[in-house]
């Protein structure tokens, strides 16, 4: 049981990690990390430049102070106060030494600022390149997902199966049409249909005869169509004639 729970837990963790390693999410996170690094480098460059400016200002102040105490020492010499001149020269030497040290530090700081500026430029180019690459990869990932989804749908949708169903339904429709036609033939008046067919045939024969006459291919004499009265009417006329003959005979007698 514990083994099964362990397998289930590992499967769950793998599924979560798989979703977390989604290309779009990973690319966005990587780009965000680069952006954060870029911000930090910009702040470092700004701080380095500020330090450089402070060193320049401090250096200039020490140079000014060294010059001031040099002038004061000269003033004390003019007044014959050698002791005061020595103190002024000592103070001047302190400021001059500080200025010398600051010049070395300022030179080093300027080199640091130059390197940081170059690193900032390189990082900005890298971030821009990463952004372009990120956009391209995300677009490709979306296209791949859409293609996979379409292929999955197509794999579940069989064209042969659909055509088989359509052909089966077509056969069923044809059977229903044939059944409807058969019922129509059975429900109609057969005698009426025979006369209609005969009339249609007669009309066709007359059209054929007229066409032959126009083309000069009609026979010399054409048979005339004669319509005989029904035999029932002929029998009635014969009976009437027999009755009249019998009445005449009786009168003569």
C-alpha to C-alpha distance for 161 and 168, rounded to whole angstroms: 11
Most confident of the ranges 74-78, 163-167, 234-238: 74-78
pLDDT confidence of residue 209: 78
- In this prediction, residues 179-202 reach a mean pLDDT of 67
- In this prediction, residues 5-34 reach a mean pLDDT of 70
pLDDT over threshold 50, residue 204:
yes
Q: Are 73 and 47 in contact (CB under 8 A)?
A: no
Tokens linked to 25:
């999410």
pLDDT confidence of residue 168: 86
pLDDT band at 186 (very low <50, low <70, confident <90, very high): low
pLDDT confidence of residue 242: 56
- In this prediction, residues 206-234 reach a mean pLDDT of 61
Q: What is the pTM of this model?
A: 0.51
Q: Are 70 and 92 in contact (CB under 8 A)?
A: yes
- In this prediction, residues 217-221 reach a mean pLDDT of 60
C-alpha to C-alpha distance for 23 and 21, rounded to whole angstroms: 6
pLDDT over threshold 60, residue 214:
yes
pLDDT band at 33 (very low <50, low <70, confident <90, very high): very high
pLDDT over threshold 60, residue 131:
yes
- In this prediction, residues 164-177 reach a mean pLDDT of 86
pLDDT over threshold 50, residue 63:
yes
Q: Is 119 helix (H, G, I), strand (E, B) or coil?
A: helix
Residue-wise pLDDT for 132-144, tens only, equals 999 998 898 889 8
pLDDT confidence of residue 21: 67
pLDDT band at 210 (very low <50, low <70, confident <90, very high): confident
C-alpha to C-alpha distance for 78 and 88, rounded to whole angstroms: 13
């Amino acid at each position: 049981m514990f083994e099964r729970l362990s397998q289930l837990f590992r499967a769950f963790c793998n599924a979560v990690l798989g979703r977390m390693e989604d290309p779009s999410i990973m690319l966005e996170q990587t780009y965000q990390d680069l952006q954060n690094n870029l911000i930090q480098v910009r702040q470092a460059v700004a701080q380095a430049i500020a330090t450089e400016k402070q060193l320049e200002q401090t250096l200039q102040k020490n140079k000014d102070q060294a010059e001031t105490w040099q002038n004061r020492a000269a003033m004390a010499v003019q007044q014959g106060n050698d002791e005061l001149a020595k103190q002024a020269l000592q103070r001047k030497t302190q400021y001059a030494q500080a200025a010398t040290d600051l010049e070395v530090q300022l030179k080093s700081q300027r080199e640091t600022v130059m390197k940081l500026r170059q690193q900032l430029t390189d990082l900005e180019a890298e971030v821009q390149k990463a952004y372009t690459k990120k956009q391209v990869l995300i677009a490709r990932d979306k296209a791949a997902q859409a293609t996979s989804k379409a292929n999955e749908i197509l794999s579940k949708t069989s064209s042969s199966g659909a055509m088989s169903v359509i052909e089966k339904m077509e056969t069923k429709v044809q059977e229903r049409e044939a059944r409807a036609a058969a019922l129509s033939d059975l429900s109609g008046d057969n005698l009426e249909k025979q006369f209609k067919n005969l009339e249609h045939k007669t009309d066709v024969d007359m059209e054929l005869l007229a066409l032959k006459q126009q083309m000069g291919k009609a026979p010399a004499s054409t048979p005339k169509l004669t319509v005989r009265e029904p035999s029932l009417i002929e029998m009635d006329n014969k009976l009437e004639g027999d009755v009249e003959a019998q009445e005449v005979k009786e009168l003569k007698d």
